């Protein structure tokens, strides 16, 4: 191997290849365990849940890598902190439990990267037990299975009930108003309903019919 190439990557000699492979593999496996604990205790099955699970696994591996790179070098630590400070999460973390799981992944990744595998292995069941004990309980709700969220924006001056009720009676088995907010600086009213369709194939017909109603500005129907 040329000397210039070896000199360019001389810090690689600080870690034997087998150490890097074992630590990063352990970080990957334990990151999957963290994501699995999140999935089992959180009860979500939508796209946001899968996205955060992937983030937890990647974060564990990346934090382990960063910890390996930093080692005991203080100057390198400050340099990496400055570089990582520019990273921002654009997705708002709505649940504080999600934030806790992100910190969980960071802690496991740092422990593995620093070589404290036993700490990471002991930390996971302890945190998992806490998450299982205090996991959110699902409320019993007659509209909890196969439901949709229907968001309707109605212009000011129109009565929501008179506009929506005819369509609702034709296409919905049941409905319940969940949220009412103003939109467009008070020029419109946004209503969110938890609804159950009479038939699965009536979703398109419901949206099309609501869009044709004068006074309705926007319609959004999505599965819960």
Per-residue model confidence as pLDDT tens for the chain (224 residues): 566 655 555 555 566 778 778 888 888 999 889 888 888 887 655 555 777 788 788 888 878 877 877 777 777 677 666 655 655 555 555 566 677 787 788 778 777 777 777 878 887 887 887 777 666 655 444 444 468 889 999 988 888 888 899 899 998 888 888 888 888 877 888 999 989 888 877 888 889 999 888 889 999 988 87
C-alpha dihedral sign at 89, 93, 96, 98: negative
Q: Are 33 and 116 in the same domain?
A: yes
Is this structure's pTM higher than 0.75?
no
Tokens of 108: 């496991």
In a domain, 87, yes or no: yes
* Element (DSSP H or E) covering residue 171: helix 160-171
Measured in degrees and rounded to the nearest 5, phi and psi for residue 88 equal -130, 145
Q: Are 118 and 21 in the same domain?
A: yes
In a domain, 89, yes or no: yes
Q: Are 54 and 113 in the same domain?
A: yes
Q: Are 7 and 86 in the same domain?
A: yes
Domain count along the chain: 2
Q: Are 101 and 180 in the same domain?
A: no
Q: Which domain holds residue 214?
A: 148-223
Q: Are 128 and 153 in the same domain?
A: no
Q: How far apart are CA 106 and CA 100, in angstroms?
A: 10
Q: How far apart are CA 117 and CA 109, in angstroms?
A: 10
Tokens of 168: 């609702």
């Amino acid at each position: 191997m040329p000397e210039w190439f070896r000199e360019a990557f001389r810090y690689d000699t600080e870690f034997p290849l087998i150490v890097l492979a074992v630590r990063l593999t352990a970080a990957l496996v334990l990151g999957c365990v963290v994501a699995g604990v999140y999935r089992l205790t959180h009860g979500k099955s939508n796209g946001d849940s899968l996205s955060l699970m992937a983030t937890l696994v990647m974060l564990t591996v990346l934090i382990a890598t960063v910890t390996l790179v930093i080692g005991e070098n203080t100057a390198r630590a400050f340099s990496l902190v400055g570089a990582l400070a520019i990273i921002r999460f654009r997705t708002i973390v709505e649940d504080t439990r999600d934030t806790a799981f992100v910190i969980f992944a960071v802690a496991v990744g740092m422990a593995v990267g620093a070589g404290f595998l036993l700490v990471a292995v002991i930390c996971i069941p302890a945190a998992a037990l806490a998450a299982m004990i205090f996991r959110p309980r699902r409320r019993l709700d007659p509209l909890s299975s196969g439901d949709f969220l229907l968001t309707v924006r109605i212009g000011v001056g129109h009565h929501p009930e008179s506009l929506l009720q005819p369509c609702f009676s034709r296409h919905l088995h049941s409905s319940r108003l969940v949220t009412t907010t103003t939109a467009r600086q008070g020029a419109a009213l946004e209503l969110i309903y938890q609804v159950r369709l009479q038939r699965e194939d009536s979703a398109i017909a419901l949206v099309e019919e609501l869009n044709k109603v004068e006074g309705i500005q926007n319609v959004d129907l999505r599965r819960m």
